[in-house]
Amino acid sequence: MPKEVLATEHPDDDLIRTDRMPHIWCPGCGIGIVMKCYIKAIKRSGIPPERHVVVSGIGCSSRLPGYVNIDSYHTTHGRALPFAIGMNLVKPELEITVIAGDGDLVTIGGNHFIHAIRRNHDINVVLINNFIYGMTGGQHGATTPAGSKATSAPYGTIDNPFNLPLLVASLGAPFVARWTTFHVNQLIDAMLKAMKVNGLAFIEVLSPCPTHYGRDNNFPTGLEMMRYFKKMSVINHEADLRTVDIDLRSGKPIIVGNFVHKEKPSYNDMWRKLVESVTEERK
């Protein structure tokens, strides 16, 4: 019998800050799955790791850059996008990905969000949507499904949540996708597509939060919500985005897919064109 050899390294150790393990995420949280997908996408992208940059704001999802062994920036609440945009304008050769939560990007940082898309800045935005403010105590936010309970809505929220794919597509983003933490291979593929997009690429990732959202809304474990994602998700890349809003209580399917993928000049392209035009006029 051959002698058993125990592995001393993980294949992804070169892109993980192993000295920071164990991580702080709760059991059943899906953020680690998103991190795994991002690391796989970096390796398969053909872009050297030294050209990849990951930026976040504040929150559970925003702790992700602290565990990825590339240039990582943990910025202030709601301000990940302007930080990333500034970096892109100065260093357009970098592949910049913002990974943050729904509370950070579209509740606290909503104004930055819509204008980054409108201007088509050349960055990737991965929004991890766990339907709740996880780190700050379980308050409801701009993506909490109507009727869901939260610490700030103990009888259920009456707010209408954002339909994020529709919002982002309406602002002209050249790439818009939604997947869940159950759809690992599709998520990796979407991240690879995003890294090739000239302009703003947006991916919404639905993720369990058993500690806050799940506990109060009949998904007490991450596994139960993953089973729900498996059962209720329907892949439709051609979906009418007016119909892909999320309602976790009505039995409505969760529509996932790569909804928009088109070519469009980025902000950097338009800026270079303007500079060339002004320079030519001054000759």
- For residues 258 and 190, the answer to whether their CB atoms sit within 8 Å is yes
Mean pLDDT over residues 181-209, rounded?
Answer: 98
Mean pLDDT over residues 169-194, rounded?
Answer: 98
Is the omega angle on the peptide bond into residue 82 within 30 degrees of 0, that is, cis? no
What band does 2 get if pLDDT is binned at 50, 70 and 90? low
60/43 Cα distance (integer angstroms): 24
Tally Cβ neighbours within 10 Å of residue 54: 26
Is the omega angle on the peptide bond into residue 22 within 30 degrees of 0, that is, cis? yes
What band does 11 get if pLDDT is binned at 50, 70 and 90? confident
53/73 Cα distance (integer angstroms): 8
Amino acid letter, 210 = P
- Confidence at residue 51, expressed as pLDDT on a 0 to 100 scale: 97
Q: Based on the number of CB atoms within 10 Å of its own CB, is 6 exposed (0-12), middle (13-18) or buried (19 or more)?
A: exposed
Q: pLDDT averaged over the chain?
A: 94
Please determine, for residue 38, whether its predicted confidence score (pLDDT) is greater than 80. Answer: yes
The token pair at 230 is 């498996």
Mean pLDDT over residues 27-49, rounded?
Answer: 96
Please determine, for residue 4, whether its predicted confidence score (pLDDT) is greater than 70. Answer: yes
**143, containing H or E segment:** none
Calculate ∠ Cα 137-140-144, nearest 5°. 135
Please determine, for residue 1, whether its predicted confidence score (pLDDT) is greater than 70. Answer: no
Please determine, for residue 8, whether its predicted confidence score (pLDDT) is greater than 80. Answer: no
141/253 Cα distance (integer angstroms): 22
- Confidence at residue 136, expressed as pLDDT on a 0 to 100 scale: 85
Task: For residue range 47-74, list pLDDT tens digits in order.
Answer: 999 999 999 999 999 999 999 999 999 9
- For residues 199 and 266, the answer to whether their CB atoms sit within 8 Å is yes
**Domains contained in the chain, CATH given:** 13-282 (3.40.50.970)
- For residues 172 and 263, the answer to whether their CB atoms sit within 8 Å is no
Three-state DSSP class for residue 181: coil
**Proportion of the chain above pLDDT 90, given as a percent:** 88
Amino acid letter, 57 = G
- For residues 194 and 124, the answer to whether their CB atoms sit within 8 Å is yes
